[in-house]
Structure 1
Amino acid sequence: MPYGTPGHDPASARLRRHIFGDDAEQYDTARPGYPPQLVQDVLDFSALAARDPALEVGAGTGKATLAFARSGVPVTCVEPDVRMARVLRRRCAELPEVTVEVADFESWRPGRRYGLLYCAQAWHWVDPAARWDRARAALSPGGAIGLFWNHWFLSSGELAERLTAAHARHGIEIPADTLLDPRPRPARRGPESRQWREMTAAGFVAPEHRLYTSVHERSTSALLGLLASYGGYRALPARPRERVLDEVARIVDAHGGHAQVRVITSLFLGRTAR
């Protein structure tokens, strides 16, 4: 059985969401942020009153936090990993209206209701049996929810084929939802998507699904950093991971030492009933 399949990953999703804290600084450096238009669209949809705070679930190292806070919105961040929260606090040190609480969202109890709850690249790590109930409990009547994810693609199909073949030579299955995953991402759109169906089944109304596309140039080292930041690669045994990433580096260097990465950011919006 290749590395990267479920049989080689004994950790539960609840434990695996802490794997990113093993090297929080590397994660913060490697991961791209989110489109400014997305941030504005979320704020416009939520129509927050002046100085009304937003709630961020799974804030990580602040890749989305900074954008919302710099828009003038006070943000309460709930982050389950103390190591990620340490980087988050440092990055937001000059933003006094960012509050960081180290807690699992499933057990965290808000001291107030919020007009906006958003979650960047982390909603899938929250217990599906509890997340929608917890979101409704944290939101005011008519409050908005914004859930978004980045999906990465290599612009060069030839380079993607060579890197995929390198993984096969090392007996490593391409981790799901990563740069080389050949499946369409997002897999479904609008009412056909799981997020839309779950949101409406949980009683959220006025759902919307929006997509944003951006293009980034990545050096060999930056591309390796992106791969290494994925949970699927972090969960691999150290030696197989090192060997395949070493070969990836050689291939990208031979390709010119850089690669173009296309990012599709998928945003789901909804609101609680009034």
Structure 2
Amino acid sequence: MSPSPSEPTTSPTREPHPAPGQLHSTARSFGAEATRYDRVRPRYPDALVHRIVSTAPGPDLLDVGTGTGIVARQFGAAGCRVLGVEVDARMADLARLSGVGTEVASFEEWEPAGRAFDAVVSAQAWHWVDPVAGAAKAAEVLRPGGRLALFWNVFQPPPEVTEAFIEVHDRVLPDSPNLWTKPALDTYAPLFAEAVDGIRQAGGAFGETEEWRYEWQHSYTRDEWLDLLPTHGRTSGLPPARLTELLTATGAAIDALGGEFTVRYTTVAITASRTTAAASHPRSARP
């Protein structure tokens, strides 16, 4: 249910976190592109998935903001028993069709019903969760030693492509912030800091946070990029005519640069282990 592989709808300046109702309303907007989202959104490094699995005490995993089940399927293939929680019913329906058991709720309001998990993960979605309430809920459902892992794919096109996208944005969307003007990791830095702060405020339930990073690349053709673009947070709410204008101008810019380009990705994970026992864990996490 994330806005984009590289574009949070927040600025690098730390600001008060939006109210949960505002977050959930925005998060639900991505269900209109659920099928496209599942088709075009990038997956996550296998090395990260296996590191989380290998450092969790068991195979029961909760995926917060599971969306269409992209990372849930990766964890399932790695041997986990996965339950998803997703605020958008359209996303959840698609996740279920792919075999991911998914319950529809915001994580803050989701009822665990006594279930316990060995890992709680959130891929490209934790910025739609209140970071303090979310960390407290994760602590409630994690077994002792269980791992909380919150991660994002952050992409940065090459400089000449970035410059072209800046020009297109200023021309087509002059009244909206142009996030292309800042390095993507700088744009994401407040989200990482909020995640760390939320974990630290969870009443001592977690050990020290760690940051894991994985570097990789992916090449896009013009058509592949234009297929991905409507799933970005900055475009999901555009009127159809404005979206068409943006896609046309972006396509022309890519054509002028040779019709394809390679994006540098950094997958950043904020993670910590549960250090103290939850109140009770009467039954397995299996739905």
TM-score range, shorter chain: 0.7 to 0.9
Instruction: Map 1:146-157 onto structure 2 (within 5 A).
Output: 146-155=149-158, 157=159
2:66 alignment partner in structure 1: 59
2:176 alignment partner in structure 1: 173
Check whether the contact 2:147–2:272 (CA below 8 A) recurs between aligned residues: yes
Partners of 1:143 and 1:247 lie apart in 2 by: 47
1:200 alignment partner in structure 2: 200
Instruction: Map 1:48-197 onto structure 2 (within 5 A).
Output: 48=58, 52-92=59-99, 98-111=100-113, 112-155=115-158, 157-170=159-172, 171-174=174-177, 176=179, 180=180, 182-185=182-185, 193-197=193-197
Partners of 1:188 and 1:256 lie apart in 2 by: 29
Query: Percent of aligned pairs with the same residue?
Result: 32
Change in Cα spacing, 1:76 to 1:188, as seen in structure 2 (3 Å) is: closer
1:268 aligns with 2:270: yes
Change in Cα spacing, 1:262 to 1:120, as seen in structure 2 (3 Å) is: same
Q: Alignment partner of 1:141: what SS?
A: strand
Q: Which runs of 5+ in 2 are unaligned?
A: 1-8, 12-20, 277-287
Partners of 2:75 and 2:10 lie apart in 1 by: 36
With the length of structure 2 as denominator, give the TM-score of the two structures.
0.81
**Which string of whole-angstrom CA distances, capped at 9 and with x for unpartnered residues, describes residues 165-207 of structure 1?**
111112253564xxx3523415587xx9332233123232132
Partners of 1:56 and 1:39 lie apart in 2 by: 12
Change in Cα spacing, 1:24 to 1:181, as seen in structure 2 (3 Å) is: farther
Partners of 2:52 and 2:249 lie apart in 1 by: 40
2:242 alignment partner in structure 1: 240
**Which string of whole-angstrom CA distances, capped at 9 and with x for unpartnered residues, describes residues 141-173 of structure 1?**
222101100111102x11211221111112253
Q: Alignment partner of 1:16: what SS?
A: helix
Change in Cα spacing, 1:175 to 1:137, as seen in structure 2 (3 Å) is: farther
Partners of 2:86 and 2:194 lie apart in 1 by: 24
1:29 aligns with 2:31: no
Check whether the contact 2:24–2:87 (CA below 8 A) recurs between aligned residues: no
* Matched residue count: 253
**Which string of whole-angstrom CA distances, capped at 9 and with x for unpartnered residues, describes residues 87-146 of structure 1?**
111222xxxxx4221222111111311111111010110133521221111112222101
1:41 alignment partner in structure 2: 51
1:95 alignment partner in structure 2: none
After superposition, the CA RMSD in angstroms is 2.3
**Which string of whole-angstrom CA distances, capped at 9 and with x for unpartnered residues, describes residues 210-259 of structure 1?**
10111111011111222211122112233222212210001112222111
Q: Which runs of 5+ in 1 are unaligned?
A: 93-97
Check whether the contact 1:61–1:84 (CA below 8 A) recurs between aligned residues: yes
1:13 aligns with 2:23: yes
Partners of 1:79 and 1:37 lie apart in 2 by: 25
Structure 2 counterpart of 1:242, one-letter code: T
Pick one of 246, 250, 253 that aligns with 2:252. Answer: 250
Change in Cα spacing, 1:36 to 1:181, as seen in structure 2 (3 Å) is: farther
Change in Cα spacing, 1:243 to 1:261, as seen in structure 2 (3 Å) is: same
Structure 1 counterpart of 2:89, one-letter code: V
Check whether the contact 1:19–1:231 (CA below 8 A) recurs between aligned residues: no
